[in-house]
Structures are given as structure tokens and as C-alpha cells.
């Protein structure tokens, strides 16, 4: 295990792209023919463009978005993370006007790597809790 293994790569992607907004790393770390299995309303495009669009969508909605990895499990060409996501909803979120409320939810993300780049992504988040925290439900 070391530099460029799936766990290390997942940690770098989370820290640098998602937490520090270093979008320029997408060309290096995300494959051009990236396949996204994460379904998100209003998220269009394919490949790297889709990955960038997903990061921008979240960062536009939560300017202080942060993702802290609690643990990673890796096997062969895949890495799975369990993370805590926090942020303040101060921008549009797929048509939901800013609420000014904070979120604090967990998510599970799975990345598959080929030659040091993400080729596929799966993920699941606690959308119900997030929507409750944003005041969408009662």
C-alpha cells in the first residue's frame, strides 16, 4: 500500500477536489471515460465533465462544504469510504433556494480505479436526514 493505491487515491480526491476545490486535478485523477452510477437530478454530462459538474453543484450549494473520511476499505481496484459531510446551505441546491441551515450527514462512496484514475463511481448519502436538516420536511 502506498502512493497511487486505491485508498490513497480516494483520500487525495476527497481532500483536494472535494474539500479544497482543486478542480485542476480532475484531469489527472478522473478518467476521460469516467462512468458515474450516482443518480442526481439535474446532473448532466458524461466523463470528466460530469464529475466536475457534480463537484460544482455541491460547492455552489454549500460554500463551506467539507467531507471528513472516517474510514476507507480497499480491495483490488476499488476503495470505499464512509465519510461525514458538513456544510451551510447558502446557494441553490437543484432548485431549492438557500436556507442558511447547516447539514451534518454521512455518506458512502465507492471508486474504481484503472491506471491511477477513477473510472467508475457509486455512492449513497443520507438524503432524508439532509432534507430534514434543510427544513424541507416539517
* DSSP per-residue codes, 68-94: EEEEEEEETTEEEEEEEEEEEB-S-BT
Residue 53 burial (CB count, 10 A): 17
What pTM did the predictor assign?
0.91
How many alpha carbons fall within 13 Å on the CB side of residue 91?
11
pLDDT of residue 138: 62
| Chain centroid to CA 81 | 11
DSSP structural state of residue 136: S
**CATH number for the domain whose boundaries are 6-133:** 3.10.450.50
Per-domain residue ranges of the chain: 6-133
Reported as a single tens digit per residue, the pLDDT across 98-110 is 999 999 999 999 9
- Beta carbons within 8 Å of 3's beta carbon, 6+ residues apart: none
Q: What are phi and psi of 135, to 5 degrees?
A: 80, 15
| Alpha helices (H) in the chain, listed in sequence order | 6-12, 26-29, 47-61, 127-133
| Chain centroid to CA 57 | 10
Reported as a single tens digit per residue, the pLDDT across 9-65 is 999 999 999 999 999 999 999 999 999 998 876 777 789 999 999 999 999 999 999
Amino acid at each position: 500500500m502506498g502512493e497511487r493505491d486505491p485508498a490513497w487515491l480516494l483520500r487525495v480526491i476527497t481532500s483536494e477536489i472535494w474539500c479544497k476545490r482543486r478542480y485542476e486535478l480532475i484531469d489527472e485523477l478522473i478518467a476521460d471515460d469516467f462512468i458515474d452510477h450516482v443518480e442526481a437530478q439535474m446532473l448532466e454530462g458524461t466523463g470528466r465533465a460530469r464529475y466536475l459538474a457534480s463537484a460544482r453543484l455541491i460547492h455552489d450549494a454549500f460554500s463551506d462544504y467539507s467531507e471528513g473520511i472516517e474510514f476507507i476499505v480497499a480491495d483490488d481496484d476499488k476503495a470505499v469510504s464512509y465519510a461525514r459531510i458538513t456544510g451551510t446551505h447558502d446557494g441553490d441546491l437543484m432548485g431549492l433556494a438557500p436556507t442558511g441551515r447547516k447539514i451534518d450527514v454521512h455518506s458512502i462512496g465507492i471508486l474504481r480505479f484503472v491506471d491511477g484514475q477513477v473510472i467508475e463511481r457509486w455512492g449513497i448519502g443520507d438524503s432524508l436526514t439532509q432534507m430534514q436538516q434543510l427544513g424541507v420536511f416539517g
